[in-house]
Amino acid sequence: MIKSIENLSYEELLEKFKVLLKANNLKYTTQREAILKTLYDHPDHFTPENLYMLVKENYPDLNTGITTVYRTLNLLEENNIATSISFGSAGKKFELGNKPHHDHLICEECGDIVEFENDEIEKLQDKIAKMHDFKLTNHLMQLYGICKKCQD
Amino acid sequence: MIKSIENLSYEELLEKFKVLLKANNLKYTTQREAILKTLYDHPDHFTPENLYMLVKENYPDLNTGITTVYRTLNLLEENNIATSISFGSAGKKFELGNKPHHDHLICEECGDIVEFENDEIEKLQDKIAKMHDFKLTNHLMQLYGICKKCQD
DNA sequence: CTGTGTGCAAACATTTTGCAAGCAG
DNA sequence: CTGCTTGCAAAATGTTTGCACACAG
């Protein structure tokens, strides 16, 4: 399990990925690399569908299937290289976990996502988990509202 | 729009519901009441499927369809009588919003959900929203971990 | 009566799986 | 070569919609 992949260059990230693959008897394929690179080049939040289309656009010769995008995203998420946030029945959005930990502010009007960090909240979360005898593995905080632009 | 339905008795809740229905030219039906009552009697977190089965069990003569459960849950959520939390591709869980605001601690092992409240975090959230010029409408905080029981 | 609500079946959207062929190691 | 990986099509899952009949107001 990879502890932290924060602030890595693409080369370092790719190296981590290769090590991970080897450790699990998985193979380093062109499609997997294309997906990782596309995620790295676009620090956005992708639905599998979005990412699939972007990969097809950037690597038309690979003819990557959406199945592979799903499988690779799940692989990346299981190994903490990518994280996802869910949007009810509207599905999930993924992003690379190569940034410092952060949470999300989401505009209900235009779907825009703003990232933020807050140490105090993190600390409070740890405290709460301890109070309930939970061993914290992860957390999800999403604030929903109307962004500046959409308020006008 | 209903401001708050905290700590209502079932009679009060039902009254709110009827007023709401009338205000929207909707009808008060046996199925809608059965669903509301079932939610009220079981302060748990339901998937539409779970709730559907429980309603069928408690009101076998009504022969309620899962379609109606979905439609009613959406109606309740739109009117802030129920709230939902999502579980990635695993769907949504609903609960009545008649309790004070709280967030959720979720066990990744057994799926158990523990509720908690924390004013400090709420305040910090408001502060963050303000900093980013968001008008906050809602928020979602879920802490994932392993509960006491599953750690053994 | 009128028009909304209902259950059913079918449609949909999203994600996963089975399979035969392809390719990395 | 071996067996993991791929793309396709099909299946599975979760949710919504069209429709004819039922029922609340």
The CATH number for B60's domain is 1.10.10.10
Using one digit for the tens of pLDDT, what is the confidence trace for B106-129?
A: 877 666 788 898 999 999 999 999
Q: How much is the average pLDDT of A125-144?
A: 88
Tens of pLDDT along B28-77?
999 999 999 999 999 888 999 999 999 999 999 999 999 999 999 999 99
- Shortest distance, CA A11 to any CA of chain B (angstroms): 31
Q: Is residue B82 part of a domain?
A: yes
**pLDDT higher at A108 or B150:** B150
**Reported confidence tier of residue B5, pLDDT bands at 50, 70, 90:** low
B142 vs A109, which has greater pLDDT? B142
What was the pLDDT predicted at B146? Answer: 84
What's the pLDDT score for residue B120?
Answer: 92
Task: Say what the pLDDT of residue A57 is.
Answer: 95
B112 & B75 share domain: no
Q: Return the pLDDT at A5.
A: 58
Report residue A6's pLDDT band, with 50, 70 and 90 as the boundaries. low
Contact: B135, A114; criterion CB under 8 Å: no
pLDDT cut 70: percent of chain B above it: 89
Q: How many CA atoms lie within 13 A of B105 on its CB side?
A: 22
Contact B151 A135 (CB under 8 A): yes
By the 8 A CB rule, do B66 and B52 touch? yes
* B119-131 and A119-131 helices, crossing angle to 10°: 160
Query: For residues A124 and A128, what is the distance between their CA atoms, to the nearest angstrom?
Result: 6
Cβ separation A129–B105 shorter than 8 A: yes
User: Are B92 and B125 in a shared domain?
Assistant: no
Q: Answer yes or no: do A49 and A110 share one domain.
A: no
Same structural domain, A92 and A111: no
A65 contact to strand D (CB, 7 A limit): yes
CB-closest option in B124, B135, B145 to A136: B145
Asked whether residue A73 is domain-assigned, the answer is yes
Distance CA B141, CA B92 (A): 14
Chain A residues closer than 8 Å to B82 by CB? none
Task: Examine the domain organization and report whether B120 and B61 are in the same domain.
Answer: no
Cβ–Cβ gap A143/B136 under 8 Å: yes
Query: For testing the chain B interface, which of A138, A140, A152 should be mutated: the one with the most B CBs within 10 Å?
Result: A140
**In this predicted model, which residue has the larger pLDDT, A9 or B142?**
A9
Taking the CA of residue B66 and the nearest CA in chain A, the distance in Å comes to 16
Chain A residues with at least one Cβ partner in B under 8 Å:
84, 86-89, 91-92, 105, 107-108, 114, 116, 118, 120-121, 124-125, 128-129, 131-148, 151
Which positions in strand C are less than 7 Å from the protein's CB atoms?
A: 3-9, 14-18, 23-25
Considering the domain architecture, whether residues B72 and B121 belong to the same structural domain is answered as no
| Same structural domain, A16 and A51 | yes
Give the domain extent around B128.
Answer: 103-151
Give chain B's domain count. 2
A123 lies in some domain: yes
Co-location of A61 and A89 in the same domain: yes
pTM of the model: 0.78
| CATH value at residue A115 | 3.30.1490.190
Please give, rounded to a whole number of angstroms, the shortest distance from the CA of B88 to a CA of chain A. Answer: 5
- Do residues B90 and B114 share a domain? no
Neighbour-count burial for A58-70, b at 16+ CB within 10 Å, e otherwise: ebeebebeeebbe
- Residue B130, in any domain of the structure: yes
Residues B36, B90 within the same domain: yes
Same domain, A25 and A87: yes
Pick A145's closest partner by Cβ from B87, B136, B144: B136
d(CA B30, CA B35): 9
Q: Are residues A143 and A86 in the same domain?
A: no
State, as a whole number of angstroms, the distance between the CA of B113 and the C1' of D24.
Answer: 39
Q: Which residue of B has its CA nearest to A140?
A: B142
Compute the average pLDDT of residues A100-128. 84
